[in-house]
Every structure is written in structure tokens, then in C-alpha cells.
Amino acid sequence: MASKYTVRWGILATGGIATTFTKDFLTNPATRGVHDVQHVLAAAASSSSKSRAEAFIKDVDGPSSAKAYGSYHELVKDPNVDIIYVATPHSHHFQNTMLALEHGKNVLCEKAFTVNAAQARKLVETAREKKLFLMEAVWTRYFPLSIKIRELVKDGVIGKVHRVTADLSIAEAKDDGGLDFPDSHRMVNPDLAGGALLDLGIYSLTWVYQILYHCQEGKREKPEVLGAVQKYKTGADELTSILLNWPGQKTQGFASTSLRVATNPDGEGSPAAAPAVRIQGTKGEIQVFGMIFRPLHYRVILAGGKSGQVEDVHCPIPTDKERKGKGDEGVGHGMFWEADEAARCLRDGKLESDTLNWEESIAIMEAMDAVRKQGGLVYPELIETAVYDEKSPLNGEH
């Protein structure tokens, strides 16, 4: 049997998403039917202190060989790291990813990729020049559920798709008119590029784009974009709706997000839940239920309403019972699939993923730029600039 390709990860930032991602890739790949790649935690860095990085490694049940660093600069210089996972707020993504690329590291960068399209183009240009792998970490794209739905669409199971609607919204409204976040929280803080669009709306756009853009044949048509934005008192967006029109494809998408009203008011898994995503074709429809960043259930409805024309498919996420999880559940959240994709790309010498290539990440950033321009969403120059500064405070330099 061929040996597994091993990837040595360096984790840049030690917050919640970094914890979940690292715990996921440290699970046994065989528990999810993967036998060709495996992952090792080589190092982690906190911009605050080495002790915070040490606590992170312990928390994720990492190996004793993993190095802890008290700065991002030390991490990107570690020769035993193959790829850096950038897990900071999206306000920091451009500077942090540039730091890693400039030091010759491959990068998996959390979504939203950057704050604007100019930054995304600069990252891609740098990765191409240096022949380094770079991928936006839109984990949802690599779920077997998502892969299967794209196959159903490409195979014409629901005919020609003309419309996709997608919503990801959370109910955080308070009776006094505020939101249940302190003004400094990353969800509503403009200094961190906060707001519904870049944090939640990216997932609504992901579903629209992975069907109406990614599945196009030949040279892809970009959409006309019409955005409507309502702002919170901090200046971040709290309610955003996006209409995307592809005249040449004869398709439309509608992506929405909110911090005030939820996609499903009575919670995920409710029997009364409406679909969060609807993919509508001439011969039927595919519906996706639950939180669309981590979808577990879809339904295929073929036109005509005859008996047997509705199929419900549940896609539970496999867990590793040998790893430390909540109770007896084991560990498995669904982030390991994007890690596997990055590993295979590195193994095969690819610089980008076919499932979400550089061009598509930039196209989605361009759509969000258009929405921001129409809605007057502006962030500080420190996080908007597309000029790399190794000594930027965003890279932990004070």
C-alpha cells in the first residue's frame, strides 16, 4: 500500500476557529475514509505570547514535538512548516498571508479571503510569482454534500438551473434596538471588517457561486451585482441582501444575511425549518437545510409531485472516537476536508484548488466590493490597503 502524504501545519493565531480546524485535522483520516494524506501539527503562533501558543497546542491535544511561538514572524521562518493556516479575523488576512508568502510558505487562508478584491489580487500575484500554494478556506465547498450537489447540477438532474437563493442569518437583536454583541466584538467592529457581509454573507454567496458560477462551462460569465445594505450604529452592516444577475447564462442568484433575524427562528433541525438554500431548475429543485456553512441535509424534488419524486439525504459528519471530544462524541466538525484538499494539492504540485481557484475567490471579492460600494461600507485604511507591510501592527508588530 502506498504511503500517505504527510503535511506539516503551522497555525497562525490561536482563537476558536484555529482550535476547531486543528482538532479536526489531527483526527485519524481513516475515520472519514481518507487513506492517501495525513496531517501533523508542526507549530502554532500567538501574537500575544508564547504561553498562549503552548496552551493552544495542549488544548488541541497536539504532539509534544509541536513548536510554540509568541510571534507570527517566528512561525513563518520555521523550516519544519509546509503550510500556514491563517486563522485571524479577515481584517488581518492580507497582511498575515503576505507575511507567510514572502517567507516562502504555502497558505490556507480563512474566509473571507481578504477585505477587498485588490488585496486578493495581490495575494494571488505573489503566490503565482513565488510558485506557492494558496487557497481560501471555504470549508463548505469540500463537504461531500456540496460535492454531490454540484454533481447533481452538472448532470442535469434538476434540468437547467435558473435561480439560486441562499440565506445565512442569526437572531442577535435586543429589545432596546441594539445587537447582542459589544461594539468592540469582531461581528460589529469596523476596525476588524465586522458586519454580516464578510462574516456570514460569504457563505450565502458561496452557495450562489458554487452553482451559478463554478458550474458554468468554458469561460465563466461574471454577474451584475445589486446590493442593499442597512448599517448598525457602529457602521458595520447588520442586514444585507444581494441580487446577482447573469444575463448570458439566464440565471439569477439571491444571497442574504442578517444579524437581526434568523434563517430558522426555532433553531437548526426544526421540523418546521424552511430550506436555507434553494437551487431551482426546469425539472426540479435541490434544497439545503440548516446552517449552510455546515450543511448536513439536502432534499431533491423532481417536478410533477409524483410519489417517489422527493428524496431526502442526510450527511452526518464522521468523528474520531479516539480523540477528545464532547462526551463520547469524538472529534469531527467538517473542517478536515479542506485540509485534505490542501494536502493533495501540495502533493500534486498544484498552486490552487480546482474546487475554489484564485480566479473565483477574486470574483466573489469583487461582488462584495460592489455591495460595499453601493451600501457605503468603508473600513479603516490600515485594513483596506493592498500594500504589504511586514511591520504592520496586523502582523503583531507594535
Shared domain check, 350 and 247: no
Shared domain check, 289 and 182: yes
- The DSSP 8-state label assigned to residue 391 in this structure reads T
Decide which of 257, 292, 314 is a domain's last residue: 314
The phi and psi torsions of 252 (rounded to 5 degrees) equal -140, 150
With residue 4 as reference, give the H or E element that holds it: none
**Residue with C-alpha cell 450562489?**
208
The phi and psi torsions of 159 (rounded to 5 degrees) equal 75, -155
Query: What per-residue confidence (pLDDT) applies to 269?
Result: 66
Q: Which residues pair with 298 in a beta bridge?
A: 288, 313
Query: What per-residue confidence (pLDDT) applies to 3?
Result: 85
Residue 370 covered by a domain: yes
> What mean pLDDT comes out for the span 14-21?
97
Give the model's confidence band at 325: pLDDT under 50 very low, under 70 low, under 90 confident, else very high: low
Shared domain check, 162 and 277: yes
Claim: this prediction has a pTM higher than 0.85: yes
Residue 319 covered by a domain: no
Residue 310 covered by a domain: yes
For residue 311, give the amino acid letter: E
Decide which of 314, 338, 373 is a domain's last residue: 314
Q: Is the model's pLDDT at 301 over the cut of 70? A: yes
Distance CA 4, CA 133 (A): 19
For residue 250, give the amino acid letter: K
Residue 396 covered by a domain: no
**C-alpha pair distances (Å), 190 with each of 58, 185, 368:** 33, 9, 15
Shared domain check, 254 and 354: no
Q: What is the pLDDT of residues 51-76, one digit of tens each?
A: 999 999 999 999 999 999 999 999 99
Say if residue 135 is exposed, middle or buried (CB neighbours under 10 Å; 0-12, 13-18, 19+). Answer: buried
CATH code of the domain containing 208: 3.30.360.10
By DSSP bridging, strand 106-110 and strand 83-86 are parallel
Q: What is the pLDDT of residues 307-324, one digit of tens each?
A: 558 999 999 999 999 987
Decide which of 281, 314, 347 is a domain's last residue: 314
Distance CA 222, CA 53 (A): 42
Query: What per-residue confidence (pLDDT) applies to 306?
Result: 60
Residue 358 covered by a domain: yes
Give the model's confidence band at 329: pLDDT under 50 very low, under 70 low, under 90 confident, else very high: confident
Cell of 157: 438532474
For residue 291, give the amino acid letter: M
Q: Which residues pair with 254 in a beta bridge?
A: 165, 243
Query: What per-residue confidence (pLDDT) applies to 326?
Result: 58
Shared domain check, 350 and 206: no
> What mean pLDDT comes out for the span 11-38?
97
> What mean pLDDT comes out for the span 284-300?
96
With residue 130 as reference, give the H or E element that holds it: helix 117-130
Query: What per-residue confidence (pLDDT) applies to 1?
Result: 52
For residue 297, give the amino acid letter: H
Shared domain check, 154 and 135: no
- The DSSP 8-state label assigned to residue 320 in this structure reads B
Structural domain total, the chain: 2
Picking from 54, 20, 67, the residue whose alpha carbon sits closest to that of residue 338 is 20
Distance CA 46, CA 36 (A): 31
For residues 256-282, one letter each, b for 16 or more C-beta atoms within 10 angstroms of the residue's C-beta and e for the rest, the string is bbbbbebbbeeeeeeeebebbbbbbbe
Q: At what angle do helices 16-25 and 336-347 cross, to 10 degrees?
A: 60
Distance CA 12, CA 8 (A): 13
Residue 273 covered by a domain: yes
First to last CA, the chain: 50
Q: Is the model's pLDDT at 398 over the cut of 60? A: no
For residue 339, give the amino acid letter: A
Shared domain check, 192 and 160: yes
Picking from 159, 206, 198, the residue whose alpha carbon sits closest to that of residue 304 is 159
Distance CA 317, CA 178 (A): 35
> What mean pLDDT comes out for the span 363-387?
97
Query: What per-residue confidence (pLDDT) applies to 280?
Result: 98
Q: What is the pLDDT of residues 139-196, one digit of tens each?
A: 999 999 999 999 999 999 999 999 999 999 999 999 999 999 999 999 999 999 999 9
Give the model's confidence band at 273: pLDDT under 50 very low, under 70 low, under 90 confident, else very high: confident
Residue 73 covered by a domain: yes
- The DSSP 8-state label assigned to residue 195 in this structure reads B
CATH code of the domain containing 59: 3.40.50.720
Mean of all residue pLDDT scores within the chain? 95
Shared domain check, 92 and 179: no
Cell of 225: 451585482
Shared domain check, 215 and 243: yes
Q: Which domain holds residue 12?
A: 1-139+328-389
Q: Is the model's pLDDT at 296 over the cut of 70? A: yes
SS3 123: helix
Cell of 355: 474546487
Shared domain check, 108 and 9: yes
Q: Is the model's pLDDT at 268 over the cut of 80? A: no
Give the model's confidence band at 265: pLDDT under 50 very low, under 70 low, under 90 confident, else very high: confident
CA 184 to chain centre: 23
How many CB atoms are closer than 10 A to CB 326?
7
Query: What per-residue confidence (pLDDT) applies to 30?
Result: 97
Distance CA 382, CA 91 (A): 9
Residue 202 covered by a domain: yes
Query: What per-residue confidence (pLDDT) applies to 320?
Result: 94
Q: Percent of the chain at pLDDT above 90?
A: 90
Shared domain check, 133 and 172: no
Shared domain check, 171 and 131: no
